[in-house]
Amino acid sequence: MDLYLAEDTICAISTPGGTGGIAVIRVSGPEAVSIVDSLWKGAPLSSAKSHTAHLGEIIDKERSDEPLDQCVATVFRRPNSYTGEDIVEISVHGSRWIQRETIALLIRSGCRMAQPGEYTRRAVMNGRMDLSQAEGVADVIASSSRAAHRIAMSQMKGSISKKLSTLREQLIQLSALLELELDFSEEDVEFADRNRLLQIATDIHNELQRLHNSFQGGNAIKEGIPVAIIGATNAGKSSLLNTLLDDERAIVSDIHGTTRDTIEETLEIGDYLFRFIDTAGLRDTSDPIEQIGISRSRKAISRSVIALLIIDATTVPDDSLDMTALRNHLPEELLSDTGISPSIIVVLNKVDLLDSSSKTKQAINTDKISIENVIPISAKHGTGISDLKHELTKIAKNKDTTDQNDIIITNLRQAEALGQAIESIRPLINGLNNGLESFLIAEHLRETISHLSTITGTIPSTEILNTIFSQFCIGK
């Protein structure tokens, strides 16, 4: 952030747009208290203690001291505020007109409008938090499930920062010893024990790899666990999506091949957010548009964590209710040895249409199905949907290996930086095993430290800062 911008006093509405009970206007900067005090009728804010709230009025002096609103001003003194600067938060009534006029009044009095994410950016620049914590703030605001909120809160409190800080300090100490060796290179001395360096580098590599590996699961929890709804045409995939969402989201028709493209919708079930992907029915077709839809469906299957295989129960022969028969319904992506291994839930749809004498019906009713993860449902009538939701949350919980003490990566930028750190520490380990010279070992150490530093912002980059905070809302 440019210095002159950081020295400005800024203002913005920090509550969501629209009309509500109250709206909070945040003012931060060196003149925050004096500017608000110049518009204030009530106990002087200039003498107010930090973290105190005061009832008064905002006065429009250009209109004969006419009160704009009766409100509450809360004072936060630097450095113990969100931004590390003096802050005044004005809680006005939620009228859009009052919000607009208060902001205009503050700007006329010396404030300027805050840029997106500028409050949190100032908090980072003033040492109130680091970049990974700032990204945790954004994730807390955007969290849409209990599991995502839990991870985001952990990050906002500095779990990633503390872990990486410990690893980074170990590397810095070793780097200092190696640099000392380089200063005395002519005397051929070793200050850094190579066996100890190798052990520490190996331990750090393993921890970085664990953190990097957590991204796939962490990102799925954050963005929604991808669930591909697959099966033959007219099996009831779109009907199931509509029933789960309680909305007519997808077109339902008896005509084969109605769904030509993937349809994605999210739904919170229990502690988790699921991202359901209704796919085109997998079949051989000469229709070029349907072929595109099927191709996209196969890609969705390859990215899914859970696959719901929808089978029309009326097409299952009475004597073929076993996994061998059901495997014939699985697309090749789930059968080939490609490393794709989503959990598969077999959903027998249209059980309401089975004749009561059907062996399939009897097997379902008497719980004699020997296949795991088979859920009989009627998407049309909603039968069995609660059982399906229970199975989804059960699988999600089993895949969620996190707990309150785990450090999980959910941010792509952080995952990429971890990947770069891993790539730089591997040749360091190889070099230690092969007697690499000190100056080359030191270079690999510096690269690893640099990559870890970009995660927390210890080595700040204007480009990274601009990218991160441009995604924040104005009032945060």
* pLDDT tens, residue by residue, 298-313: 676 767 788 888 888 8
Please say if the pLDDT value at position 145 is more than 90: no
Q: How far apart are CA 468 and CA 44, in angstroms?
A: 37
Query: Is 256 annotated as a binding-site member?
Result: yes
Query: Is 262 annotated as a binding-site member?
Result: no
| DSSP three-state, residue 92 | strand
Q: Which has the higher per-residue pLDDT, 355 or 134?
A: 134
Query: Is 238 annotated as a binding-site member?
Result: yes
pLDDT at position 355, please?
Answer: 75
Please say if the pLDDT value at position 338 is more than 60: no
Query: Is 235 annotated as a binding-site member?
Result: yes
296 C-beta neighbours (distance < 10 Å), count: 16
pLDDT at position 339, please?
Answer: 47
134: nearest Cα among 175, 83, 74, 98? 83
pLDDT at position 437, please?
Answer: 78
Query: Is 61 annotated as a binding-site member?
Result: no
Q: How far apart are CA 97 and CA 11, in angstroms?
A: 16
- Backbone region of residue 330 per phi and psi (left: phi > 0; alpha: psi in -120 to 50; beta: other values): beta
Query: Is 254 annotated as a binding-site member?
Result: yes
What is the rounded average pLDDT of the residues 15-22? 86
State which amino acid sits at residue 91: S
Q: How far apart are CA 420 and CA 101, in angstroms?
A: 49
40: nearest Cα among 18, 70, 19, 10? 70
Query: Is 74 annotated as a binding-site member?
Result: no
Query: Is 176 annotated as a binding-site member?
Result: no
197 C-beta neighbours (distance < 10 Å), count: 20
- Categorize the per-residue pLDDT at 142 as very low, low, confident or very high, splitting at 50, 70 and 90: confident
Phi then psi for residue 121, to 5 deg, are -65, -40
Query: Is 41 annotated as a binding-site member?
Result: no
Query: Under CATH, what is the fold of the domain 3-129?
Result: Gyrase A; domain 2 (3.30.1360)
Query: Is 161 annotated as a binding-site member?
Result: no
The percent of residues in the chain predicted with pLDDT above 70, rounded, is 76
Q: Which CATH superfamily is domain 226-399 in?
A: P-loop containing nucleotide triphosphate hydrolases (3.40.50.300)
Query: Is 397 annotated as a binding-site member?
Result: no
Residues of the chain with CATH 3.40.50.300: 226-399
Query: Is 314 annotated as a binding-site member?
Result: no
| Terminal Cα distance for the chain, rounded | 16
Kindly give, in sequence order, each residue whose CB lies less than 8 Å from that of residue 232, ignoring residues fewer than 6 positions away.
281, 282, 283, 311, 312, 329
pLDDT at position 191, please?
Answer: 56
Query: Is 259 annotated as a binding-site member?
Result: yes
Question: Token match 């962490």: residue?
Answer: 218
State which amino acid sits at residue 201: A
Length of the chain: 476
Question: Token match 């002159």: residue?
Answer: 4
The pair of three-digit structure tokens given for residue 300, joined into one six-digit string: 């969705």
272-278 and 87-94 strand pairing: unpaired
Query: Under CATH, what is the fold of the domain 136-219+411-457?
Result: Four Helix Bundle (Hemerythrin (Met), subunit A) (1.20.120)
Query: Is 403 annotated as a binding-site member?
Result: no
pLDDT at position 192, please?
Answer: 61
Query: Is 128 annotated as a binding-site member?
Result: yes
Residues of the chain with CATH 1.20.120.430: 136-219+411-457
Q: Which helix (H) or strand (E) segment is 178 a member of?
A: helix 159-183
Query: Is 237 annotated as a binding-site member?
Result: yes
Q: Enumerate helices (H) and strands (E) in the chain, giving the number of each.
A: 16, 13
The model's pLDDT over 92-115, given as tens digits with 9 standing for 90+, comes to: 999 999 999 999 999 999 999 999
What is the rounded average pLDDT of the residues 466-474? 69
Residues of the chain with CATH 3.30.1360.120: 3-129
pLDDT at position 34, please?
Answer: 95
